[in-house]
Structure 1
Amino acid sequence: MWTIAQSRRLTDTPYADALERHAGAGIANFHALPIGSLTHAPDGETTPHAEQARRLYGSRMLAAELTLGSPELDSYFRAHRSLARSRRLTAEAFGADDSHYVTVGTTGANQIALEALRVGTARVLVDRSMHQSIHFALDRLQADVHYAPTAADDTEHGVITALRRAQAAGDRYDVVVIGVSAYDGSLVQMRRFLASLHELTAETGIAVLIDEAWTAIHSFHPAMRRNAAVACVREALDDHPDWSASFLVTQSAHKSMLAMRQGSYVHVSASADRLMQLRADVSAAVYRVHTTSPSLPILASLDIARGHAVAEGEALVERALTLAARLREVARRVPGIAVHHPVPSAGGAQSAYLADPMKVHLDFGSPERAQAVRRELYDEYGVYVSRQDGRTLLFTVHIGVTPAQVDTLVEAFETVCCGESVECACPDGRWIIAYPPGIPLQVPGEQLAALPVQQIGEELYSTF
């Protein structure tokens, strides 16, 4: 993916280095953020709560919680030194024209992107399965929203279907909003999607927001990068230099990379005729939407996350893929567990989707049994499973999962599942499960038909 010289440069962390030099420097701050002074207590004073903060967060973390107008730490909104260089390195690593750091999560990143694309004056085609942040922002910006139909099968994405219908009717959309990496591991086949998008908008042009929340780390593994959004967008723009198109890709870096919670990226890519204006619009949107008190530790973590991904991402993704394959193999030999494929045709020649190999769905026969296994994994083995969907549990094998942790999970499977009866009757009742969180079950304009619901069970995704 990169030359040796590029890899060395892309592992630099200029912003994190600058913050580290300032952390704990003993500067008397007469501005704001008293947590730094109260928890360091240079004159020997301390309180129980300050001690608790030190235990929870650590002295170095608290020392990095700065509010400091140091030139070396740069300006968040007008970056031109360490932060600007860090962002340039991140854009190069992902393959974007520009990259912005967001410390208020991808909810904020999506709001910034939609503001930059000026959806308030646009006709917008939206993938209905988008996160709530998209729906709320579109409503706030008073966009003219049209929802893509749910595809009848998996051979074509609903957004492409809607674009085909619009073209046939002599109509058009100005902005497309699509999610390409779902919580459950369903991935849009990016090259196929972009090829169809170009076919349908080559003459009219298009602006696109791509929410790639769950798979930022894929950009740093050669095989996975072939479907990574930013890299595929770059390839499509290079292959079609006359295509007038704008792309913003948002990523929850903290979900898959070495970044702190609420750390997100907004990547900017566009054709030559649009790039300068898009860059200006994104910068203006960041200024209007983002907090004026960005977290410096989160900013630094986004810098570190990119350096870490360039240096170790390929090896760690490869390890995760191996561990995920091991879980599937164990599931095939342990009684009462089966590997589940949420999108059966994913990856096929005619499918619009791929399945994320770092996501493992295991079928335990019934919702009750899946819930019981999930609870026992947590209570007896300290293994947390975030999602239950009916009779299946979802195991996300991210780059932080270790072989020892998988050993524990395998031991738990062998103990819990082999030591019980595997005959599980399906329940008579039905469950309505609003999961994954934040994905609307219906959107404006839809009517909820009467359902033969006999029983609403307890929420199977209840917290412990």
Structure 2
Amino acid sequence: MADAVLAAARRDIASFHALPLSHGRSIRDSRIRESYESLFGAAQLAADVSYSGTMLDSFFRPRGPLREAQRLAARGFGADATYFLSTGTSTANRVALTALTRPGGRVLADRSCHQSVHFALGGLGVEVVYAPMQRCCADCPRTFGDLPRLLETFREAVAEGRPYDTVVLSAVSYDGVRYDLPTVLAELAAAHPGVRVLVDEAWGAVHRFHPRLRPLTALHAVERLRRTASAPPLTVAVTHSAHKSMSALRQGSYLHLAGEGEARERVAQALFQHHTTSPSWPVLASLDLARLQAETEGEQLLERSLHLAQTLRTELGTDPRLSAYRTLGAEGHLTDPALLVSDDPTRVLVDIGALGITAAEFRRVLFDEYALYVARESGDAVLFHLHIGVDEATLLRLLDALRTIQRTCRTTSAALTPGASDHFIIAYPPGIPIAVPGERVCDRTLGEIDALRSDGCEIYTLHQPGVSTAAVPVPSGPPVSAAVPGVSALPAVPAVPAGRK
């Protein structure tokens, strides 16, 4: 697929159909050309084409390079059939559910599923029952499906003569929780062999390609079931957001199917019903390349990810310069096999509450001051995903940033403690000190800091040991809120928001 798209891009093909931007033709003499090429490059503009049928391939009835790419992907992932999508896994989930369910059928759904599953089920004319969720523990904010209760509910429905036709599982969560799919699928098949299952593994597409991660994946679990003496006629659809863990372009998604005959035909029909008729050929080509890389380099890259994730945990647990951070999850919260869940070892959930700033402020500082991005926050915790795009140098950047933020925030917190101060505390604008070394910081001072930051000011502190001024007490005022923002301006240290607990 990738070779076919590249070959088309290298030809100087003039289109009388659509996509005037292809090859940059519509912007050749435009003032926006430089911006376009700076953002996307000439190669991307040339590869974004609008050819179909025999000119490149038919998306809905592929016979050429797309068909071969999908065949190779099915072989690599262990599926009976694989479909490429260029509109994301939300579409893949809708396609899968349309194919698996029947009007009037019964669906048992994991409550923790992505919104796309909930929205799709609402329009399919099925009876939906949600299995409950559970929280990891009081110390960890993660939630996930209560799988023992889900299986109990499923078995009870079978015993009552009203089995669920379809089960939906969210098996690799955003927060790094993985389901024991070999056990869950075996239990479902034993109770009702004809059950159809959708497994949303959006965050775990690459797990297939490492021996430590592979055993819990859905398609590997199906392979194990098929090797048993009485292999059940189980139909399983698996959706993967390739761009979340593999080297694929955004919106690139795989839909894998373990099932024959009618199941394949229904998936093809549902794909035609829900996918755009203008697929992105660069996205589809990236799915082909991502599969090739995963097959040839995936184990090595994932081994690096696992090592770096463990390095991050070790550094946070042993370096006194990182003592304000506490890892959650991977240190033993999900070790009870009865829960049928375990941790994704490529993710590190970190409590940053001891810094005295909120998780949202912490994420903003990482992004603005250090060009480091984390997406997930939950309470006082943030989630670091050590995916295959994170290398040793990137982890060192993160660790350096964490040390600097800890040093800065703790200095700021000390400056904003009631009592005699040895800091300048300055609001900018206007740049006039709220307090100077030797003055007392009291509730009224802290209330003024609260009010200034609410008005958009940044608060800076500067430690000046040895500076002596007359200590002029400021009369006490009313109590202030628990979170006092501030920014510490230590020499050669970027300013970061700070708070007081």
Shift of 1:347: 3.8
Alignment of 1:188-207 (within 5 A): 188-202=179-193, 205-207=194-196
Is the aligned partner of 1:25 residue 2:3? no
Which of 346, 349, 371 pairs up with 1:358? 346
1:222 corresponds to: 211
The equivalences for 1:37-436 within 5 A come to: 37-39=23-25, 45-69=28-52, 71=54, 73-150=56-133, 156-202=147-193, 205-239=194-228, 241-270=230-259, 275-333=260-318, 334-341=322-329, 345-365=333-353, 368-421=357-410
Structure 1 vs Structure 2 CA RMSD: 2.4
Q: For residues 180 and 99 of structure 1, what CA distance do their matches in structure 2 show? A: 19
Question: Helix, strand or coil for the counterpart of 1:178?
Answer: strand
CA distance in 2, matches of 1:174, 1:240: 24
Aligned equivalents of 2:52 and 2:407: distance in 1? Answer: 61
Distance 1:191 1:387 in 2: 28
- Opposite residue 228 of structure 1, the aligned amino acid is T
- Does the aligned pair in 1 maintain the 2:225–2:231 contact within 8 Å? no
Secondary structure at the counterpart of residue 182 of structure 1: coil
Cα offset, 1:261, TM superposition = 0.6
> Which residue identity does 2:217 align to in structure 1?
A
What code does the residue aligned with 1:365 have?
A: G
CA distance in 1 between partners of 2:112 and 2:171 (Å): 10
Deviation at 1:69, TM superposition (A): 3.4
Shift of 1:411: 0.8
1:345–1:351: 8 Å Cα contact kept in structure 2? no
CA distance in 1, matches of 2:60, 2:315: 50
Is residue 119–residue 175 contact of structure 1 (8 Å, CA) maintained in 2? no
Q: Structure 1, residues 307-365: CA drift from partner, whole Å, max 9, x if none?
A: 01111111111111111111101111221111111895424333310100011011122
111 and 240 in structure 1: CA distance in 2 versus 1, 3 angstrom threshold: farther
CA distance in 2, matches of 1:31, 1:152: 54
CA distance in 2, matches of 1:376, 1:181: 28
Contact 2:349 2:383 in 1 (8 A): yes
Q: 1:74: Cα distance to partner?
A: 1.5
> 1:149 touches 1:161 (CA, 8 Å); kept in 2?
no
- Whether 1:16 aligns to 2:2 is yes
Q: Cα deviation per residue 1:398-437 (whole Å; 9 max; x = unaligned)?
A: 100111110011111222214543989xxxxxxxxxxxxx
How far, CA to CA, are the matches of 2:357 and 2:154 in structure 1? 42
Mapped contact 1:343–1:355 kept (Cα < 8 A)? no
Structure 1 residues 240 and 265, CA, compared in 2 at 3 Å: closer, same or farther? farther
Answer with 301-310 or 242-251: which moved more.
242-251
1:160, distance to aligned residue in structure 2 (A): 1.1
**Structure with the higher strand share, 1 or 2:** 2
Deviation at 1:24, TM superposition (A): 3.4
- AA aligned to 2:122 is D
- In the superposition, relative to structure 1, how do residues 335 and 199 fare at CA in structure 2: closer, same or farther (>3 Å)? same
Q: Unmatched 5+ residue regions in structure 1?
A: 1-14, 425-454, 458-464
Query: SS where residue 218 of structure 1 aligns?
Result: helix
CA contact (8 A) 1:335 1:418 kept: no
Larger-Rg structure: 2
Shift of the alpha carbon at 1:242? 4.2
Alpha-carbon distance in structure 1 between the residues aligned to 2:380 and 2:290? 35
C-alpha separation between the residues in 1 aligned to 2:156 and 2:135? 14
Deviation string 1:428-461 (CA, Å, 9 cap, x unpaired) is xxxxxxxxxxxxxxxxxxxxxxxxxxx9x9xxxx
SS, match of residue 173 in structure 1: coil
Say which SS state the counterpart of residue 71 (structure 1) adopts. Answer: helix
CA distance in 1: counterparts of 2:298 and 2:55, whole angstroms = 28
CA–CA distance in 2 between the matches of 1:152 and 1:418? 33
| Stretch of structure 1 that moved more, 173-182 or 47-56 | 47-56
Q: Displacement of 1:282 after TM fit?
A: 0.7
Distance in 1 between residues matched to 2:224 and 2:104, nearest whole Å:
29
Paired residue secondary structure (2:261): helix
What amino acid maps onto 1:283 in structure 2?
Answer: A
Residue aligned with 1:239, SS: coil
What are the Cα deviations for residues 21-42 of structure 1, in whole angstroms up to 9, with x where unaligned? Answer: 110311111111101154476x
Question: 2:53 and 2:34 mapped to 1: Cα distance?
Answer: 28
Residue matched to 2:465: none
Distance 1:161 1:86, change over 3 A: same
Q: How many residues align?
A: 404
Read off the aligned partner of 2:297 and give its amino acid letter: E
1:134-154 per-residue CA deviation (whole Å, 9 max, x = no partner) reads 111111122211111335988
| In structure 2, C-alpha distance between the alignment counterparts of 1:121 and 1:75, rounded to whole Å | 33
- Asked whether the 8 Å contact 1:127–1:158 carries over to 2, the reply is no
More displaced 10-residue stretch of structure 1: 398-407 or 154-163 = 154-163
Q: In 1, Cα distance between the equivalents of 2:199 and 2:331?
A: 21
Query: 1:160-180: CA deviations, max 9, x gaps?
Result: 121122234343111111110
Ranges in structure 2 where 5+ consecutive residues have no aligned partner: 137-144, 415-480, 484-501
CA distance in 2 between partners of 1:375 and 1:28 (Å): 46
TM-score normalised by structure 2 residue count:
0.76
2:428 is matched with: none
Q: What percentage of residue pairs aligned between the two structures are identical? A: 38
